[in-house]
Amino acid sequence: MRNTIYSILLMFFVLSSVSAQFKTIEKKEGNSDGVEIKPLFVPTEQSIDPAKQIPLTVDPMDLQDFVHATTNIYATHFDKEGRAVFFKGHLKEQIGKTIEEQIDIYLQALNRYFNLDQLQDQYQFIRSEEDKLGMIHIDIQQTFQGIPVDGGYLKLHVKDGLIHRANGRFLDTPHIDQVIPSLSASEIKAVVIGDFQKKGIYKRVEGADLKFMPHETYHAELLIHRKDGQDYLVYKVDAFANMIQRFVYLVDAHTGIIIDQYKNYCSLHGEDHDHADHGAMPPPDGPATANALDLMNINRTINTYESNGTFYLIDAARKRIPTADNPSDNLFDDTNSNMPNEPVGVIWTIDAFNTNPQNNDFNYDHVTSSNNTWNDKIAVSAHYNGGVAYEYFKNTHQRNSINGESGNIISLINISDPETGGGFDNAFWNGAAMFYGNGNTAFDPLAEALDVAGHEMSHGVVQATANLTYQGESGALNESFADIFGVMMDSEDWYLGEDVAKTSVFPTGRLRDMSDPHNGGNQLGDPGWQPKNTSEQYTGSQDNGGVHINSGIVNHAYYLFATHADVGIAKAEQIYYRALTTYLSASSKFIDLRASVEQSAEDLYGMAEKNAASMAFEAVGIGGGGNTTDYETDVEMNPGADFLLHSDAPFSNLFIRDNDLNFVANPLSQIDVRSKPSVTDNGSNIFFVGTDNNIYNIAIDWEAGQFGINTFDDQGIWRNVAISKDGSRIA
């Protein structure tokens, strides 16, 4: 069967209308070096033999086997180190197998790119999820002797019952002797807390403060970590030094030496307090609305909450997307809420009274009103922006709150500088809540800017989905997605922070500019300057390896993509959200984003949008120049019906079949074939060279169901022939 497979000539084509894209060629008789060049054949009604009706017959021969046998799995994108990161195709062996069986088959096929020893013992299934397109996405973690390998993560994608795509990376088989740690988890915790104390930033988070924190404030996981070519058994610790400052530590599990560390929280511009017990409250009066001016002096409608005659800046009136598990459409969970101090499913604004969570005098309480009148513009802005962020993700991406699980959206305003106690030029997302400074030398009160709020809260979405590591290119992707969603919420321009940035520090009046990341500057260090091409990429260690700096490259790619005539903002934000939630993982880099956006564009829309994505990333140097990808540009598919043109094994006949492999023309030609046939876009003309070295033309009238065969050139000197898509040129 294999010899038959490789000897059959295959040509897939699509019937569609032909639009001339070339100038009409001059049809001249001529002679050059003794070769006669004949005019291009233009079929006429007289050239079609009316007796040759195309028979619509069905042959019992099943071509399914050889169609699937021609499949393969191949890499389409490679990172800067030459490691394959995106794969397409499938194998015949997968057909008829369960997904679990296919995983083994697929990963064994991919191992030629990974070169792992005993692959079947070096990975484990993590989770699977079906998306709105009906595709199933499977997460696979690389392991070594049962220990996860840091950065070794793959996503497999199933369509129509077959794994047909994969992305991510497995690292080479680790070289490590002892995978049983010498130190306990508690000993490692002491190492981390000791380092916090050396830095002078440790303040234990407990009691009522925990409501503003993620569920875990300390998490340690045993991993195999590779640094500078050396493999280590480490504890990867994700821990808070205080309510705001969150770090990742990689600590050698045998020696307790800190191998690496980096901050794991976003700042926009690069003794525990005993809270009063409010006591049991009488039954709440419920949601209310009010109108109030924000920091931009715009009258905003905000949702408040009345309890026992006092109004709170608690929005318990939002609607969420009902699911089978939770059919209610109300975000607010009144059953599990203890109002107003322990609400569930709300947007909640809290006053920190010009204190900072890093200090022992940190203090906070509700923002309240006795008559539902609100004169605090900072509070109104923060509360309103939290609602906009919620509605953006719900309405645009069908996401239930920031964490995807109807979680609270909390904003703490009036955060002071941790050292001076005065104005604070920053805003933070700590994994569970927003913290707004009121500005100082560089910014006005940061609660004013919707895109700043959107940026910080979007870090929560990134955290709950791909969880991009906040370091290097992965961290720059993390920052870029926060910028993208923030700018999409405030979609009047392509700037970030333009409503709060002071021109005395930022001459352009904006913190960042996605349309031109140089933002009026000339080089790194100029206020607001970012690179907009990988040729300018920062490669140092500052800023967690350039997470805020290099995000400009990715931001500009998004701008170019979203402003492309075939795309637009509405498509672009859907494509990027799918790339984030479906294809990217913690260790993804710039090239992974390109592959993921291209594939998401194809998944949701088509080849025009995919090609626009390729152009955008090429323009900023991601995947360009053959350095980072072995990329094949797909030609956009023509509309129309698909057909298969093929020969038999001895090349003595040509046939046409439909998509179900039923015969449409049986046979189409009985002339022995020498070259692969060439077909025009609309399927009306087929050219090929026969074994007598003459050129033959088959002209098809699809409407009439007729075809005719003609000798186009009988000089007997040809080996191959090709016709242009529009039928105007021949080679």
- Longest Cα–Cα distance in the chain: 104
Residues, the chain: 731
Burial of 514 (C-beta count, 10 Å sphere; 0-12/13-18/19+): buried
3-state secondary structure of 474: helix
Per the structure block, which two tokens stand in for 705?
């169901």
Q: Give me the helices (H) in 165-318, please.
A: 185-199
CA quadruple 598, 602, 604, 606: dihedral, nearest 10: 130
Query: Which residues have C-beta within 8 Å of that of residue 510, sequence separation ≥ 6?
Result: 495, 496, 497, 498, 501, 519, 528
Label each residue of 208-219 as H, E or C.
HHHHHCCCCCEE
**How far, in Å, CA of 586 to CA of 47, rounded?**
63
* DSSP-derived 3-state class of residue 556: helix
Give the number of other CB atoms < 10 A from CB of residue 3: 8
Cβ neighbours of 487 (radius 10 Å) = 27
Q: What span, in angstroms and rounded, lies between the C-alpha atoms of 731 and 729? A: 7
CA separation for the pair 402, 64 (Å, rounded):
46
Bond preceding residue 283 cis, omega within 30 of 0: no
Rg of the chain (C-alpha set): 32
- How many alpha carbons lie under 13 Å from residue 13 in its C-beta half-sphere? 21
Bridge partners (DSSP) of residue 696 are 688, 711
Question: 252 has which bridge partners?
Answer: 234
Q: Any idea which residues carry the catalytic annotation?
A: 456, 548
Give the phi and the psi of residue 244 in degrees, each rounded to 5: -105, -45
Cβ-count burial of 569 within 10 angstroms (0-12 exposed, 13-18 middle, 19+ buried)?
A: middle
Cβ atoms within 10 Å of 380's Cβ, excluding its own: 26
Angle at alpha carbon of residue 151, lines to 146 and 155, rounded to 5°: 85
Question: Are the C-beta atoms of residues 168 and 191 closer than 8 Å to each other?
Answer: no
